[in-house]
Amino acid sequence: SKAEIGLIGLGVMGSNLALNIAEKGYPIAVYNRTSTRTGAFFENAGDLRGNIVPCASLEELVAQIKPPRPIILMVQAGKAVDEQIEGLRDLLAQGDIIIDAGNANFRDTMRRFAELEGSGLTFIGMGVSGGEEGARHGPSIMVGGKEDAYKRVESVLTAIAARYEGEPCCAWLGEGGAGHFVKTIHNGIEYADMQMIAEIYGILRDGFGMEAKEIGAIFARWNEGRLNSYLVEITAAVLEAADPVSGKPMVDMILDRAGQKGTGRWSAVEAQMMGVPATAIESAVAARSLSAEKELREAAASAYGGAAEPAGRAPDKAFIDDLELALFAGKIAAYAQGFAVMAEASSEFKWNLPMPAIARIWRAGCIIRSQFLGTLARSFEADTKAENLLLIGDFVEMMNEAQPSLRRVVSHAALGGLPAPALSAALGYFDAFRQARGTANLIQAQRDYFGAHGFERVDVEGEHHGPWGSGAAS
């Protein structure tokens, strides 16, 4: 046997990851359920064929890999992963490593760890981000499992990972479901980033009647500054592209109904389960769901009318600058929420997630890669005890500068009837977060009134009840 590693699942991600591995000099054995795909993959592998061993069965795959065998699963998340693990179980030997690199729900990953416990097989749950291009030329890799298991595959994973100033964007993040959990939150943050960008686009398109190309130029300029990121870069490129069929801007020809595969929703669900506010992420997930309700939205538009007529003028420079800073402030709030969810999960599941390392491996390779994450990593390193990004010095400064713009943009959107649910949620979170004396005193009084739940007083310790009288507590 000549391969050093195996891979199952030659779909979009798997085939590109396999080419990446072969290119880095690791002979790889590959298998796909539908064997014609394996053949086509090998045919198209060009010069890399010398490092690829196509296999027609799981038995052949296992036989072609040098023990102890690392085998990457890159199949559809869910049942397919369980089926492949089941199929491999009897074929593999003590010390072999199964690496699930798909977008698993981390709760499934934890179950799989438990199921493989005592089997002699090692399991790794690994999040991979960067889409097709990332898989081929360098993804961001988030690893969960035993640290010594990671050490055994570290060289190949760091070889194929993206690099940021020479540093591989790959790290062991903790045991069990840690890697898949962090990937889930990555995707939740990605949803928020994308939604807030779309809201800014909507304000320019519907609030000022701007053309896609003009809006694209604004994003292109922002990409040179503090918003520098892959998503802002591709937003500019997308907005500037023309439809080869109609000649119109491509985005204008695309139906406004967004898809989702679940990871964004999981991050909102987990945030809720842990009681951590992640409103910008939740709004982004909700916005995708609402986008899917095209017919209902059309009915509502005729019942209520849409947004106000676009202003008959171009936005002035001050407002464009406000939009840039608003997007930045919204981004800070969304990342603060995402990292707060990870901090809570880290203590709940005893992962000890390394926040600076997470920010570092997201600097390249993944969809949310940005200059901002470099600042975030440095800030977390300097202030390891910070419980929320909004309380770290650099971010306090940045938020103080940007929040008035977020406020003006959200007001502008609200007055014009332009939807900005994620930006509004970010602002609402920020304002509630910085309110030292909140309004939950009233909530506590109401709870005590109708349910005798008791409350704490500002002046005397212990549990107290209010003077609501006998009409209360029903």
DSSP 112-134: HHHHHTTSS-EEEEEEEESHHHH
Q: Is 365 in the site for ligand NDP (CB under 6 A)?
A: no
Closest distance of CB 58 from ligand NDP, Å:
10
Those residues whose C-beta lies under 8 Å from the C-beta of residue 177, and which sit 6 or more positions away, are: 106, 107, 109, 110, 113, 125, 144, 349
Closest distance of CB 80 from ligand NDP, Å:
3
Can you tell me which of 42, 76, 163, 220 binds ligand NDP, judged by CB under 6 A?
76
Catalytic status, residue 183: yes
Can you tell me which of 21, 30, 62, 77 binds ligand NDP, judged by CB under 6 A?
77
Q: Where are the alpha helices (DSSP H) in 362-461?
A: 371-382, 393-416, 421-433, 440-451
- Neighbouring CB atoms inside 10 A of 445's CB total 14
φ and ψ of 75, to 5 deg = -110, 175
φ and ψ of 206, to 5 deg = -95, -25
| Cis peptide preceding 354, ω within 30 of 0 | no
Closest distance of CB 25 from ligand NDP, Å:
23
Query: Quick one: tokens of 437?
Result: 């004396």
Residue 311 Cα to chain centre, angstroms: 35
Q: Is 57 in the site for ligand NDP (CB under 6 A)?
A: no
Closest distance of CB 283 from ligand NDP, Å:
23
**Residue closest to ligand NDP (Cβ):** 11
- Residue 76 or 444 having the CB closest to ligand NDP: 76
- Residue 74 or 327 having the CB closest to ligand NDP: 74
- Residue 101 or 420 having the CB closest to ligand NDP: 101
Can you tell me which of 43, 83, 133, 397 binds ligand NDP, judged by CB under 6 A?
83
- Residue 173 or 406 having the CB closest to ligand NDP: 173
Those residues whose C-beta lies under 8 Å from the C-beta of residue 168, and which sit 6 or more positions away, are: 157, 158, 159, 161, 162, 361
- Residue 332 or 361 having the CB closest to ligand NDP: 361
Part in contact with ligand NDP (CB under 6 A); list of ranges 76-84, 159-167, 217-225, 352-360:
76-84
Q: Closest Cα partner for 97 from 119, 82, 75, 76?
A: 119
- Residue 131 or 202 having the CB closest to ligand NDP: 131
Can you tell me which of 20, 32, 109, 379 binds ligand NDP, judged by CB under 6 A?
32
Q: Is 33 in the site for ligand NDP (CB under 6 A)?
A: yes
Catalytic residue among 4, 175, 190, 199: 190
CA distances to 33, 35, 64, 378 from 42, in Å: 15, 11, 16, 43
- Residue 263 or 379 having the CB closest to ligand NDP: 263
Q: Is 155 in the site for ligand NDP (CB under 6 A)?
A: no
Residues in contact with ligand NDP, counted by CB under 6 A, come to a total of 22
**Long-range CB pairs of 296-302, under 8 A, 24+ apart, other chains included:** none
Can you tell me which of 6, 11, 264, 330 binds ligand NDP, judged by CB under 6 A?
11
**Under 8 Å between Cβ of 419 and 308:** no
CA distance 395 to 398: 5
**Under 8 Å between Cβ of 284 and 264:** yes
Q: Is 142 in the site for ligand NDP (CB under 6 A)?
A: no
Q: Is 80 in the site for ligand NDP (CB under 6 A)?
A: yes
For residue 313, give the DSSP letter: S
Q: Is 13 in the site for ligand NDP (CB under 6 A)?
A: yes
Can you tell me which of 3, 5, 7, 10 binds ligand NDP, judged by CB under 6 A?
10
Q: Is 9 in the site for ligand NDP (CB under 6 A)?
A: yes
Those residues whose C-beta lies under 8 Å from the C-beta of residue 2, and which sit 6 or more positions away, are: 27, 53, 64, 66
Residues 92-131 that bind ligand NDP (CB under 6 A): 102-103, 128-129, 131
β partners of residue 249: 242
Q: Is 368 in the site for ligand NDP (CB under 6 A)?
A: no
**Under 8 Å between Cβ of 364 and 162:** yes
Q: Is 20 in the site for ligand NDP (CB under 6 A)?
A: no
Catalytic status, residue 151: no
Can you tell me which of 18, 19, 30, 74 binds ligand NDP, judged by CB under 6 A?
74
Catalytic residue among 83, 132, 165, 183: 183
CA distance 327 to 331: 6
Active-site residue set? 183, 190
Contacting positions for ligand NDP (CB under 6 A): 9-14, 32-34, 37, 74-77, 80, 83-84, 102-103, 128-129, 131
